[in-house]
Structure 1
Amino acid sequence: MDPQITSQVLRQARVHLLAHGECPPGAVQARIASSWQRSLRAGVQPVGRVSGGDPLTGTEMRQVLTRSEDLLAIARPVMDYVFEQIQDSHSMVILANAQSTLLHTLGDAPFLNKAERVALRSGAIWTEEARGTNAIGTALVEATPLRVEGAEHFLEANSFLNCAASPIFSAQGQLLGVLDISGDQRLAQAHTLGLATTAARMIENRWLLARHQRDWRMHFHTQAEGVGTAAEGILALAPDGLLLGGNRAAMQSLKIAAADWGHLHWDDISAMPLRDWLARGHTQTERLHLAALHTGRSVFARLVLPSGAQATSATATQAALPSDRAGRAQLPAVPPQLAPDALAQLDTGDLAWRAAAERGRRTLGKGIALLVQGESGVGKELFARALHDSSARHAGPFVAINCAAIPEHLIEAELFGYESGAFTGARRDGQLGRLREAQGGTLFLDEIGDMPLALQTRLLRVLQERSITPLGGGKAQQLDFALVCATHHQLREAVAQGRFRADLFYRINGLALQLPALRDRSDREVITRRLLDQFNPGQSVRLHPDLAFAMAHYPWPGNLREYANALQTASALLLPGEDTIGWSQLSDDLAQELLRYREGAPMAVAALAAQAQPPSLPATDLKTLSHTAIAQMLQQCRGNVSQAAKLLGISRQTLYRRLKVS
C-alpha cells in the first residue's frame, strides 16, 4: 500500500480511538492497537507538547549511567559495529535501560539534529506513559522485538520516524534494556528489525559470558559450524549440572522458561548425562560432541570449563556425580569457585549480590571506606566479614559494633576507650576501646544510621585524623584499620532531615554497595539447598513442592535471617526417617502467613475451609485448616494414607497422629 494512504488510514484510526476509546477493527496491527490504548489511558495526547518524561541531567543522569556501566561497557562495541552497517542512511543506534531512559546514541549528524527536536538523545525517557507508542517503550512493555513505523507512533511529532527495537535480557530472563535503530520514515529499510534483534542477542551473549566466567558453560547448535556464532545456544551450569542461566537461543531451542533456572539440570534436557560427558574428555574444551536431547533432536555441543578448573573441580565433580538422578540432592549445594576467597564462598549465583561483591573486592587494600546498604536481615555483617577475610588484612581482627545496640551513654567509652579513673565506675586499668581493638584489621560499624549526632562529630574527627585520644586524656594514638559501615536507613534522606552529618556521610561513603532483599534474589533455590544441607548434615532433605511454592512467593520481611531461622526450626521438627519439610514442621505463625501464598491462595484455602464449615463461621485457625486439608487429601486419594501423606509433605505417622487429635 502507498505509504501516504497507510498514514492517512492510521491517522483516521487514531481519531476513531480518541472518539470511541478503541481502534476500528483491522485498521491497526494488534500490538500497535494495544499500545495506543495504553497510551490513551496514560493521558498521552497525540498532538501538542509532551508532558512528563523530561530528560535526566546532572547528578540523576550520572547515577543512571553508573548503575548501567556494565551494560554500557558490553553494548558499546556492538553498537559501533551496528552503526558501521547503517552509516550514511539517516539513522541512529540507541541503547536504553529497562526504564526506557536513553543511555547512549550513535548516528549520522544530520539525522541526530532532527532527532534532537523530539528528545531522541541521551537522558530522555521514552516510556509509553511519557511518549505514547514508540519502539523503545513498547518493546519493553511487550518484551519482544517490534517495529513502529511512521504514523504508528502515537505522537504526531514522531511520525517521521521508522524505529525497530529489540529487548535485551540477562541470562536469567530479566529485562536489562533495549537496543533500537531509528531512522527517517522515507528511507525505511526492511532489515532493521533483524539487525536490531541480532545486535541485542550479541549483547546478551557477551553479558552471559561476562557474568558467568566462574561457571561451566555449554555451547551448542544443530550444526557444528553454528557453535561459536551469534546463533549458538549457551547454557551456564554448576558442576553438578544445575542450569544457572542461558541465552535466548538456548531457551527457545530447549523450550526453557525463565522460571526453570535453578531448578532444571543438564540431565533433564539431555540423554547424555553430565557424568558421561565428563568421562569422554572434560579437559578438551575445544572438542565438539553430538548430544541427543530429550526433545528428540541432537545438537553439536562444547563444554567449556573456567580456566584452571579442568584438572581440579571437574575431576572432583565427576567423582561426586551420582550414577542416577535420584542421588542428585546429595551433591554440594554450591559449586567450587575459582577464586576461593570468603566472598566467592558466599556467592550463590545472584547477579546483584555478585556485582556488589566484585565491586567491593576491587577496592580491598586501597583505603576506600565501604558503606553496605540493605534491609535488615540481608546479611550485611556476613558480607562485611567476608570482605575482611578476602583482604590482605584477614589475619588482623574483625571488630563489629552494632551502633543501635549499645546504650547511648556507653557508646563513646565503648568506641574510644578510656584511661584509668576517667569517670565514676570506670575500670581501674582503663579500656582499650573498640577502635583500637581493630588495629591492623577491619572496623565494622553496623547500623551507623542510629549513631547519636554528638558522637558522629567525634567519629568524624577520628576518621579524618586517623588518631584517637582516649577519654580521660593520654597520648594520641595512630589508627590503622579498614572501615566498613552498614545501615538499613536511607542516609541521604537522614542527611537532608538533619539526623545524620553530611560530612560524616561523605567520609564513610567511599563506595556504597547495595545488597538485594531475599525476595529480589535469583538464587533462592541454591540458598535453600545450602541451608538445608547445613541444618541436616548427611541427609537429603527437601521442601514439599506446595510449601516451596508458598515460600518462593512470600516476601520474607526478615530476609535471610528470617528464612534461615524458619528452615532451621523446620529441620529440627522432622521426625526420624522424614526427608521432606511440609506445613507441619513450620511454626504456627509462619504457617498462617505462608498459607496466603500457597498455590491458588487465598481462594483455594478459603474454598477448602468453606466446604468444611458454615459460611457464618469461616475457618481461620491453622488447626482447622490443617484438618480440612487432610480430609480433602484423603478423599482425593480414596483413603490411601501413604499417598495422602506424600502429597501433604508429611510422614504417615504424622498424618495418623493428626487424625487421632482431630
Structure 2
Amino acid sequence: MRQTSPLLALRQARQQLLDTGHCPDGVVDERLARSWHRSMAAGLAPTGRAATDHATSHSLRQALASSHALLAHSRPVMEYVFEQVRHSQSVVVLADPQGMLMHTLGDPYFVDKAERVALTRGASWHEAHRGTNAIGTALAECSAVEIHGSEHFLERNGFLTCAASPILSATGELMGILDISGDHRNGHAHTLGLVSTAARMIENRLIVAACKRNIRLHLHAQPEGLGSVAEGIIALSDDGWIVGANRVGLALLQLGAGDVGATLLERVLDVRLDDLLSRHKRRPLQPQQLRLHNGRSLFVQLHVDAAAWPAPTASLAVAPAMAATDALAALDTGDARWRSAADKARRVVAKPIPVLIQGESGVGKELFARALHASGPRCAAPFVAINCGAIPESLIESELFGYVAGAFTGARKDGNLGRLREADGGTLFLDEIGDMPLALQTRLLRVLQERTVTPVGAGKAVPVDFALVCATHSKLAEAAERGTFRQDLYYRINGLTVQLPALRERSDFAALTERLLAELSPECEVQLAPELLTPLGSYAWPGNLRQYASVLRTACAMLQGGEDTVGWEHLPDDLVEALTCGAQATQAATALVRVQAPQNLQALSRVAIQQALEAARGNISLAARQLGISRQTLYRKLHTQAPH
C-alpha cells in the first residue's frame, strides 16, 4: 500500500476543505481532493452517517438480471482473487455502473465488520451516498484507485483500505467496478495491482463472449504473450472497421476509446483484412508478425468463429463460399473420420455432456480437446490439462484436489488451489484417464456427482463448475469389465465417445503435411518434395502425428539457407532406411506376384522372406516389420523353411 498522510494531517486537510472550500497543497493528491469536493457537494459531513440508499428486492433482481453477463464472467475471477486474499480479512466486491453492490465474497471474520458499513448486496457505494471510497471514486474517475484509512471522506469508513478498478466493455462502456476491501491494518502494496489485473481478466472474457460474431485480433509484442491476460484484443467488422477493443489492444495500436467504431484496421496496421483472412485460412491460429505504420512490430493471432466469416462478394459468387470455421475446423484437413468426430463433439460442446476421446498415442487427442474448448462458450476461461499417467501416485491427490495450509509436511504455507479448482468456469482435460489409480477414481466420481471439491486437510467442500473432456489410448470398456477401471466412473465420463483415426488410417496425408509444415516453419513456406509423399504416406507411423511432426521439425531444421523443399537428404537416416527397405520389399512382392503362380503359397512366402531380408541387409527386426509379422514369427518361418 502506498504511503499516506498521517491521520491528523488528513483530518486537518478535510476540516480546511469544510471551512474554506480548499484543500491545503501537498497534503492530498488531486484525485483525492476532487473526490472530497464531490462528497462535500453531495451534502455529506465527515462525522455524519452515510446517506441511506439500499435497493429493494425487486430492483436488486432487476439489476442482477440486466448485469447477467458481467456477473457470469466475473464470478470465476472473483473466486480466484478471493483465494489470494482469503486470510487477509478482506472482501471481494462487484458493483454495477451505479455503484450498487451485486456480488461479494468475504473472509468470515471480516464480514461482520463489513456489514456494519453496508458492504453487502444491494447497498450503494456511490460517492453521493458513501463519500470518498474506492468503488465510488473509481466510478467517478473511471480509473483504478486505492483509498486507504482516513482518506475516506466519512470517518466511520476509516477502518477500511480499498482498491477498485473499473470493468469496461468492448466499446469502452463502464460495465461495473471490481473492488477488494479490507482492514486498513492489513493493507498490502500489491492489492491495487491484483484488482486491476482481475478486472482485465473479466474484460477479456466479456469481449470474447460479446464479439463472437466478429473477427478478433489478439495482439502482443511477443508471440508468447498471446493468450495471456496481457494480450490486446481487437474486434473487427467484416469490412475491416475496429468495432471493439480491450484497453491493452487500444494501447498497442495507439488508439483511444473514441476511435472504436471510427477506425479502419488499415489505418493502424500495415495489412489488409482480406490478406489476414487468407493467411489465417492457410495457417489457422498461427501468429503473424505485423507492423504498425510507425514501424513497431506486433504479433497477431486471428480468431474467427463460425458466424464471423464475411460473406463472399458478388465478384466471387462463382467461387465456393468461404467455409465457416472454429478452432476444430482449423484442424480439419479433410479426413472423413476425423471430421465426423469433430462434428459430433461440436454438437455437445455447449451442453453438460462429458466427452471421451479415444485413439492411439500420438494421434492428437489433447490438440483435439484444446480445439473443442476453444470452439465452445467456455473458450475465454481456463483449459486445464492433467496427464493422469505422468503424476506420481503420491502427489496426484494434492495435485488434483489441492490442500489447505499445513495439510501435511512440506505443504506450502498458503495452501494450493488444486487443478480441479483451477479449471472452474472452463474445461478440465484428463489425459490417459485409464492410468488413474482406483482410489482416486472414487474421489473423482464424487466430484463429478456433487460438483464440489474438498481440498486435502479441509473440512468444507468448495463448488466447482467445469466441462469435462477425457482421453485414453486404452479400451476403457474392457478395463471396466475387468474391474481395473470403475464402471460407474466410465459411464459418468462416457457422455460422448469419439475415436480419432491413426495417421496410417487417414486420407488427408498431403493436406496434413502442408499444415504441419506451415506450423513448424511460419517464417517461410516449406514444402515436401513430391517423390517423398508416397513413401511417407505409406509408412506405418507407430508414433502417429507426434512422430511425424517430430520428423518434419527435424527436416525443417536441416534445411540450409535458400532451401524451401524437404527432400530425402533432410530426413533422419533410420527413417530413410525404413522407407527404402519398405519400398524395395513392396516392389519385390509385386514382382513376385506377377511372375509366380499364386497356388504355391510356400514358395511365395519363401521368396518374400528372402527379398525382405536382402532389402533389410539381414536385419531380422526390420525385415519382420516390412513383412508385417513379428520377429519370432520370422525366426520360426526361417527355421521351418531351412533345408534339413
Bin for the TM-score computed over the shorter chain = 0.3 to 0.5
TM-score of the two chains, using structure 1 as the length reference: 0.47
Instruction: Pick the structure with greater CA Rg.
Output: 2
